[in-house]
Amino acid sequence: MVGLAERAARAAGELVHRGRPERLEVMATKSSATDVVTAMDTASEELLVRLLRDARPDDGVLGEEGGATGGTSGITWVVDPIDGTVNYLYGLPGYAVSVAAVVGAGAPEERPDPRTWTAVAGCVHDPVSGRTWTATRGGGARLDGAPLAGPADVPLGEALVGTGFGYTPQRRAAQARVLSGVLPHVRDVRRSGVASLDLCSVGSGWLDAYYERGLQPWDHAAGALVAQEAGAVVRGLAPDEPASERFCLAAAPALAARLGDLVAGLDPLREEEAPAAPGA
């Protein structure tokens, strides 16, 4: 399955990288006017679904743009056709294709839930750099075929931490409040706009930790497996809570505990009122 995930992710990556027009148009929006979909998102997902269903017709598929299609095998493919669509729209180099196979996702007619599934194989492919991360449950994680060493368990004050922001004003306001409480306690913060690559960066040791509220299943299915198989803890807000839309945190074990305590104390689940527009 990891071979199929990699082949599909590479094919979709070539499509979106080579097929990107000079000028991209927004085709639709999702959660807000700033949460966009391009025609290439849809084309990439259609290619992924076709490749996966041709190879494994009994499996289910959950895609960001097309929703869920049921299967009978007990395996569901969770795909993100372009993770980092806003970067892609603006011509920035940070985006990826993410493909993961999960089990225990629930009944075929139900939307797969990250809190109940177990990812068993995954691939995150960066079409711009050509880097490709793969992982299998219990089989380790690799970058371009080389085993990952994993994140260092550094003190909180020396940690380089990745994070991300949502697309609604209320969510952004809450995340800004939490970030202002985190910044004084860590080395620095990075924001790439690509959750799958951030999780792979933790697995590669390029980030010491990553946290975010509001990730969708396709955002973290493959990247979380890469981080876990490289030695990171991937969890929700509480130590025994699985990563989900509610919260996701990834780091080496001791750092995950320290950063988790810090973030939990900042009440990241409390949403704010939408800030007033300038001049309103």
CATH of the domain at 240: 3.40.190.80
Asked if residue 161 belongs to a domain, the reply is yes
In-domain check, residue 272:
no
Cα distance between the two ends of the chain = 53
Q: What confidence score (pLDDT) does residue 66 get?
A: 73
Highest-confidence segment of 26-40, 108-122, 179-193, 264-278: 179-193
pLDDT of residue 213: 97
Query: Is residue 150 in some structural domain?
Result: no
Structure confidence at residue 29 as a pLDDT band (50, 70, 90): very low
Instruction: Please give the annotated binding residues, written as ranges.
Output: 64, 80, 82-83, 219
Is 275 within a domain?
Answer: no
Q: Is residue 26, in this structure, part of any structural domain at all?
A: yes
What is the predicted pLDDT for the residue at 241? 96
- Are 105 and 11 in the same domain? yes
Give the residue-averaged pLDDT of 68-76.
Answer: 87
Residue 271 forms part of a structural domain: no
Neighbouring-strand partners of residue 105: none
Asked whether the predicted pLDDT for residue 27 surpasses 90, the reply is no
Q: Report the pLDDT averaged over residues 234-247.
A: 96
Same domain as 163, residue 139: no
Query: What was the pLDDT predicted at 271?
Result: 87
User: What pLDDT, on a 0 to 100 scale, did the predictor assign at position 114?
Assistant: 86
Report yes or no on 237 lying in a domain. Answer: yes
pLDDT at 112 exceeding the cut of 90: no
Co-location of 138 and 29 in the same domain: yes
**Does residue 277 sit within a domain?**
no
In angstroms, the CA 228 to CA 135 distance is 9
Same structural domain, 86 and 123 = yes
- Residue position matching structure tokens 């371009």: 144
Q: Is 194 helix (H, G, I), strand (E, B) or coil?
A: coil
The enclosing H or E element of 253 equals helix 253-265
Dihedral, 102, 84, 130, 226 alpha carbons, nearest 10: -30
Task: Please state, for a pLDDT cut of 90, what percent of the chain lies above it.
Answer: 76
CA torsion, points 191, 133, 245, 1, in degrees to nearest 10? 170
**Alpha carbon 77 to chain centroid distance?**
14
Q: What is the pLDDT of residues 204-218, one digit of tens each?
A: 999 999 999 999 999
The pLDDT score that the predictor gives to residue 33 is 43
How does strand 96-103 pair with strand 75-83? Answer: antiparallel
Residues 125 and 205 in one domain: no
pLDDT of residue 236: 97
In angstroms, rounded to a whole number, what is the distance separating the alpha carbons of residues 5 and 134?
A: 8
Say whether both 161 and 235 belong to one domain. yes
| Residue 174 pLDDT greater than 70, yes or no | yes
Looking at every residue in the chain, the average pLDDT score rounds to 90
Q: Please say which residue of 145, 175, 201 terminates a domain.
A: 145
Q: Among residues 145, 174, 192, which one ends one of the domains? A: 145
Q: Same structural domain for residues 17 and 138? A: yes
Mean pLDDT of 137-146: 98
Q: Are residues 101 and 206 in the same domain?
A: no
* CATH number of the domain where residue 9 is located: 3.30.540.10
Domain boundary (145, 179, 212) is at 145
Give the chain's domain count: 2
Residue 31, phi then psi, degrees to nearest 5: -75, -25
Q: Same domain, yes or no, for 102 and 160?
A: no
Are 78 and 167 contained in the same domain? no
As a whole number of angstroms, the distance between CA 32 and CA 141 comes to 35
Binding-site residue positions for Mg(2+): 64, 80, 82-83, 219
82 and 190 in a single domain? The answer is no
Q: Is pLDDT of 25 > 90?
A: no
Q: In this predicted structure, what is the pLDDT of residue 276? A: 67
Domain that holds residue 104: 2-145
Shortest CA distance to 166 belongs to which of 156, 179, 153? 179
Q: What pLDDT is stored for residue 131 in this prediction? A: 98
**This prediction's pTM:** 0.92
Q: 163 and 232 share a domain?
A: yes
